[in-house]
Amino acid sequence: MRTQLKEATILFAGDSGDGIQLTGGQFTNTAAQSGNDISTFPNFPAEIRAPQGTLAGVSGFQLKFGSVNIYTPGDECDVLVTMNAAALKANLSTLKKGGIIIANEGGFDAKNLRLAKYPEGVNPLNNQTLDDYEVHTIDVTKMTREALKSSNLGQKEIDRSKNMFVLGFVYWIYNRSLDKTIDYLSAKFAKKPELLEANINVLKAGYNFGETAEAFTARYEIGPAPLPKGIYRSISGNQAIGLGLLAATQKAGLQLFYGSYPITPASTILHELAKYKNFGVKTFQAEDEIAAICSAIGASFGGALGVTGSSGPGIALKGEALGLAVILEIPLVVCNIQRGGPSTGLPTKTEQADLFQALYGRNGEAPMPVISTRSPSDCFETTLEACRIAIEHMTPVLLLSDGYIANGSEPWKFPKSADLPTIKPSMATPRSNGSDEVFLPYKRDEKLSRKWALPGMKGLQHRIGGIEKEHETGNVSYDPDNHEFMTRLRAEKIEKINEHTPQQKLDNGPDSGDLLIIGWGSTYGSIKTVVRDLIAEGYSVAHAHIRYLNPLPKNLGTIIQSYKHVLVPEMNNGQLIKVLRDKYLVDAVGLNKIKGMPFTANEIKNKAVGLI
């Protein structure tokens, strides 16, 4: 029996080490290939190997996929695949009443139950606690061993492939082809043929189990989503940042240099860019955060686009060098993939608490443009825009993303190069022989930007460094009037950028009305879902999502004044709201979540309805 569905949410959960991320990633890729719209939420502990079997060690991967537009990984799950007792306990609250539980019986032995802190003698699979759900208990470990009984692999490797059994079974439930995963495994384990064969055998065993299991008869069909025509791939936020940086430098005719020090959740940008040596991309894993940004500043000084990436703790270390880039007035893109803070905080959990750091976190008056991305696929376009601003306005730019966007995936339509904006660096022209024209390195154009003067070019010799510059000549200057003048000029230059960026648009809703929900960053999908639903229910609600956080779009104040109430949901203790109150004197209301987890749509909806 096959039931047609519009959308479904699955949560794969198990111990870290059970291969849950790989399983979720494979289901995502297969769903993307089938044309579904998708949103994913990988959620795992900070320890490389958290204490086995414990609640703290649970690794989860939630995805929502559908034949309709999908904006979030789902508030509640339809299916919870749980590899052990801890994964069930940690995630049961996210499963819909009546939802399906697929439980690995082997993960519910006495030891696993004790580690998951179930009372002595209690096994949730054998009592009434799961009566509200449809529970399917499968001894995945036993069946995996059975499928591999003639394999020469060791017990550990055999047991590790049990995630493929579960994946094969879930593919059967949703009637998906195994081909894409077989291709992936063939590439991943090309040098380990026995491991490859074992994984493929177990994947097929899981699928075939579905064909033969009498207890499980329900299967579901979810057709392709109405996405605009084109070639799509599934893309994570950090992959999209990597490709955005690459595309921007190609469109600007510049070399790309990426200097960074590894840090969760930013490291995968370095991994992604390291693949593009064929485009001349230079990646440098520096010895620390300061070296990473300073190498990028050096690259920009030399005429490449210098980029560095980190998360909040690393950006803190880069503080002085950020100021250096501000006073040098050279292009630099700094990606902050935010995570829970302060200090080391919650490395693998998401937060939007570095907005103040991005806006103000430097010594002296050191304003720089801040631009934020809202979803994995949006990272491509926003990164291009960050590079455009850096190059065309001769300034460092802070690009804000977060762990939720960085690790999450969604379909991304391959753009055509011709459709991407051309980026125009404004290079100083070397002097010709005999020319006596004096080069003024800090002479400005109508945007108040200076020219990019490459070292070694005839007649373009100039002083550079962190000490205050004299207007136009760039000579060292301690003159009080010059310092005030230059400080105001640098601020005006950044403020003027909003003459060259788009006006704020409403994402949805009427031009005026009862409530405006203003968001930035990864709250996009949840707010979008809420506003869509509230409008359908007859409420007068609109949504504005801010990409340009500094300078703010020129028309934002007018938009804000057109609504009776303004709600600002943020995954922090209230940062954008303070900026908006300061700038527009608006009595906005905040909704703040600081749990390392994204908002569910319902959390925002309840607050919104309470205001109107």
Q: Nearest distance from residue 87's CB to ligand COA, in Å?
A: 10
- Which position has the token pair 């409008």? 535
Minimum separation from the CB atom of position 313 to ligand COA (A): 9
Q: Should residue 570 be labelled a site residue for ligand COA when binding is judged by CB under 6 A? A: no
Q: How far is the CB of 518 from ligand COA (least distance, A)?
A: 32
Q: Is 348 in the site for ligand COA (CB under 6 A)?
A: yes
| Among the listed residues 249, 264, 336, 600, the single contact to ligand COA using CB under 6 A | 264
Q: Does 308 bind ligand COA (CB under 6 A)?
A: no
Binding segment (CB under 6 A) for ligand COA, from list 160-168, 302-310, 433-441, 495-503: 160-168
Closest distance to ligand COA from the beta carbon of 84 (Å): 12
Which helix (H) or strand (E) covers residue 257, if one does?
A: strand 256-260
* Three-class SS state of 515: strand
CA distance 162 to 171: 14
Of the candidates 472, 476, 448, 479, the one whose C-alpha atom is nearest the C-alpha of residue 463 is 476
Does 173 engage in binding with ligand COA (CB under 6 A)? no
From the CB of residue 333, how many other CB atoms can be counted at a distance below 10 Å?
28
Provide the strand spans (E) within 264-408: 282-285, 305-310, 332-338, 370-372, 396-402
- Only segment of 11-19, 130-138, 425-433, 560-568 that touches ligand COA (CB under 6 A): 11-19
Among 13-21, 67-75, 117-125, 510-518, the segment contacting ligand COA (CB under 6 A): 13-21
Q: Which is nearer to ligand COA, 16 or 350 (CB)?
A: 16
DSSP assignment of 122-155 equals --GGGSGGGTTSEEEEE-HHHHHHHHTTT--S-H
Q: Which stretch binds ligand COA (CB under 6 A): 158-166, 272-280, 282-290, 475-483?
A: 158-166
Q: What angle separates helix 162-173 from helix 20-33, to the nearest 10 degrees? A: 30
Question: What's the Cα-to-Cα distance from 546 to each of 466, 541, 576, rounded to whole Å?
Answer: 32, 17, 10
Residue 175 has a CB neighbour count (10 Å cut-off) of 13
Does 184 help bind ligand COA (rule: CB under 6 A)?
Answer: no
E strands present in 50-94: 58-66, 77-82
For ligand COA, the closer of residues 198 and 534 by Cβ is 198
- 183-191: long-range contacts, CB 8 A cutoff, minimum separation 24: 184/26, 184/29
Minimum distance of ligand COA from residue 261's CB (angstroms): 12
Q: Phi and psi dihedrals of 481, rounded to 5?
A: -65, -40
What minimum distance in Å lies between the beta carbon of 198 and ligand COA? 8
Q: Please name the helix (run of DSSP H) or strand (run of DSSP E) that holds residue 368, with its range, or none.
A: none
We find the least distance from the C-beta atom of residue 161 to ligand COA, in angstroms, to be: 4
Quick one: which of 88, 101, 164, 541 contacts ligand COA (CB under 6 A)?
164
Binds ligand COA (CB under 6 A): choice among 11, 22, 70, 256: 22
Least CB distance to ligand COA at residue 492 (A):
39
Residue among 1, 48, 190, 536 that touches ligand COA (CB under 6 A)? 48
Amino acid at 234: S
Q: Are 325 and 299 in contact (CB under 8 A)?
A: no
Provide, rounded to whole angstroms, the least separation between the CB of residue 320 and ligand COA. 23
Measured from the CB atom, the residue of 197 and 533 that comes closer to ligand COA is 197
Compose the 185-204 pattern: x for residues touching ligand COA by CB under 6 A, - for all others: --------------x-----
Bridge partners (DSSP) listed for residue 556:
none
Grouping H, G, I as helix, E, B as strand and the rest as coil, residue 247 is helix
**198-257: which residues touch ligand COA (CB under 6 A)?**
199
Single out the residue of 8, 9, 11, 18 in contact with ligand COA (rule: CB under 6 A). Answer: 18
| Polymer length of the chain | 612
> Does the protein bind ligand COA through residue 91 (CB under 6 A)?
no
CB of 53 to ligand COA, least distance (A): 13
Separation between Cα atoms, residue 452 and residue 470, nearest integer Å: 17
For residue 123, the minimal CB distance to ligand COA (Å) is: 24
Tokens of 168: 């094969």
Shortest distance, position 59 Cβ to ligand COA, whole Å: 3
CA distances from 150 to 140, 142, 159, 191, 202 (A): 17, 14, 14, 20, 12
Residue with Cβ nearer ligand COA (167 or 389): 167
How many other CB atoms are found less than 10 A from the CB of residue 271?
13
User: Between residues 145 and 469, which has the closer beta carbon with respect to ligand COA?
Assistant: 145
Judged by CB, which is closer to ligand COA: 144, or 382?
A: 144
Question: Looking only at residues 410 through 439 of this chain, which bind ligand COA when binding is defined by CB under 6 A?
Answer: none
* Site track 57-86 with ligand COA (rule: CB under 6 A), x = hit: --x---------------------------
For the residues of 162-180, what is the DSSP string, one character each? HHHHHHHHHHHHTT--SHH
Q: Which member of 112, 161, 181, 522 binds ligand COA (CB under 6 A)?
A: 161
Number of residues that bind ligand COA (CB under 6 A): 20
Written as six digits, the tokens of 482 are 């010059």
Q: 173: closest CA among 205, 219, 135?
A: 219
Q: Does 43 bind ligand COA (CB under 6 A)?
A: no
Q: Judged by CB, which is closer to ligand COA: 44, or 584?
A: 44
In this chain, which of 259, 309, 340, 347 binds ligand COA, going by CB under 6 A? 347
- Residues 451-470 touching ligand COA, rule: CB under 6 A, are none
At a CB cut-off of 8 Å and minimum separation 6, what does 556 contact? 504, 544, 546, 584
For the chain, the distance separating the N- and C-terminal CA atoms, rounded to the nearest angstrom, is 45
Pick from 8, 36, 45, 235: which binds ligand COA (CB under 6 A)? 45
Which string of DSSP letters, residue by residue, matches 316-347? HHTHHHHHHHHHHT--EEEEEEE-B-STT-BT
CB of 57 to ligand COA, least distance (A): 8
Percent helix, strand, coil in the chain (nearest 5)?
Answer: 40, 20, 40
Which tokens hold the place of 32?
């993307």
List of residues contacting ligand COA (CB under 6 A)? 16-22, 44-46, 48, 59, 160-161, 163-164, 199, 264, 347-348
